[in-house]
Amino acid sequence: MGSEHAEGLSQGLEQHGIVVGIDGSDQSTCALLWAAQEAERRKAPLYVVTAYTVPVFAASSMDAGYATVDDDVIRESAQAVLQESLTHLEGLRVDVHPRIETGDAAGVLLDLSEEAELMVVGSRGRGGFVGRLLGSVSSALPAHAKCPTAIIPVCTGARLGHPELGRKQGRDKDKDRDKPAAVVEPVVVVGVDGSEQARMASLAAAEEARTRGLALRVICSVAPFNGSLAWVPAPVDREALHADLAVQLAAGRDWLQSHYPDLDITVDLVDGPPAEVLIAASATSELLVVGTRGRGGFAGMLMGSTSQGVLHHARGPVLVVPDRADPRLEDRRSFGPMIAPGR
């Protein structure tokens, strides 16, 4: 491994790489292990970051003033968490750069996303001296990060050869953890809804599948219609809707295939609430990819809300892809029909 001393982040990253936020919880340890294996696969530097805040307490005496906690004590505790986390990386061939930063964890990681290749955090974390609960970070970071963000659940520990991770945290609150683990298939899954953001996510998913030597599965979910959806015209010809979406998905597959001719790509049109469909897919895929937001309408994928449910309940790694310009998006229309704006 690389340098084992901790230092501030005021000067940014030494070079583009993978940044993982840790707080000592099982969730962040799984995120750390996943990030380390990803850094090893990409031959990229790994920045292991913990952030803490110094609480300030208002004095209750007659004299207005403030009392502060000793920064050195809190920093030493953060240092202990960081060093303990680094023991999990022994034996891995990774260039590691451990860092400690004072400040809000979400803010620190968002700043680093300006220069990072990939951000990685756990889907939940702990409170305490490290400051910000990672559960909050995992909600704030993907929506605003300038680079892709991977959210790693604690269950991934078994996939990484550390089945003991997660046995201590939250088992009494999650009965599903006592069920046999699902068989993970060699596939990357991406959720699409016909939006530009979803097409960007599908390109990112195709690249992940290609570099990992996996197949790509494109899923479009059709949410059930009920009385609460007053905007849905009645009667809705569900068979015609499925046929229309199937044609559009096939065109999208042909478009992706033109940019990744050697990739095994399949498309699925699935009935069910989008979040539930994607959460189920996350249990059996190597990686689930979603965009930061999408459209509403017939496809029902409104990624802004769907991705939040998926991030906190996914059973495998989720990669959230931010909006960005890509010239490959320009030729999508030439491959066939697309969901019309406003649908």
What's residue 226's pLDDT?
Answer: 55
What values do phi and psi take at 258, rounded to 5?
-65, -30
The one-letter amino acid code at 67 reads A
- Third-level CATH fold of 18-55+68-169: Rossmann fold (3.40.50)
Alpha-carbon gap, residue 128 to 28, rounded angstroms: 14
Asked, colleague to colleague, whether 18-55+68-169 and 185-335 share their fold, the answer is: yes
Alpha-carbon gap, residue 293 to 319, rounded angstroms: 13
> Is there a contact between 105 and 131 (Cβ–Cβ < 8 Å)?
yes
Domain ranges of the chain: 18-55+68-169, 185-335
> Is there a contact between 178 and 42 (Cβ–Cβ < 8 Å)?
no
One digit per residue, pLDDT tens: the chain, 343 residues?
544 444 444 457 877 899 999 988 888 889 999 999 999 999 999 999 998 776 655 445 555 555 555 677 778 888 888 999 899 998 888 999 999 988 888 889 999 999 999 999 988 655 433 334 345 666 678 888 899 999 998 766 667 766 666 444 444 344 454 555 678 999 999 999 888 888 999 999 999 999 999 999 999 988 776 544 444 555 556 778 888 889 999 999 999 999 999 999 999 999 888 889 999 999 999 999 998 865 443 333 334 456 567 887 889 999 999 888 899 999 999 999 886 544 4
Q: Which of 23, 19, 50, 24 is nearest to 34 (CA)?
A: 19
Alpha-carbon gap, residue 310 to 296, rounded angstroms: 16
User: Residue 174, SS3?
Assistant: coil
Instruction: Please give the angle made by the CA atoms of 223, 307 and 320, to the nearest 5 degrees.
Output: 130
Residues in contact with 174: Cβ distance below 8 Å, sequence separation at least 6, in sequence order: none
The one-letter amino acid code at 287 reads L
Q: What is the pTM of this model?
A: 0.82
The H or E element that residue 185 is part of is strand 185-191
Complete DSSP assignment for 138-153: HHHHHHH-SS-EEEE-
Q: Is the bond preceding residue 180 a cis peptide, omega within 30 degrees? A: no
The one-letter amino acid code at 177 reads R
* Tokens representing residue 202 in the block: 């599908």
Alpha-carbon gap, residue 309 to 70, rounded angstroms: 38
* Tokens representing residue 186 in the block: 């060699």
> Is domain 185-335 classified as CATH 3.40.140.10?
no
What's residue 221's pLDDT?
Answer: 87
Residues in contact with 37: Cβ distance below 8 Å, sequence separation at least 6, in sequence order: 92, 160
Alpha-carbon gap, residue 272 to 267, rounded angstroms: 16
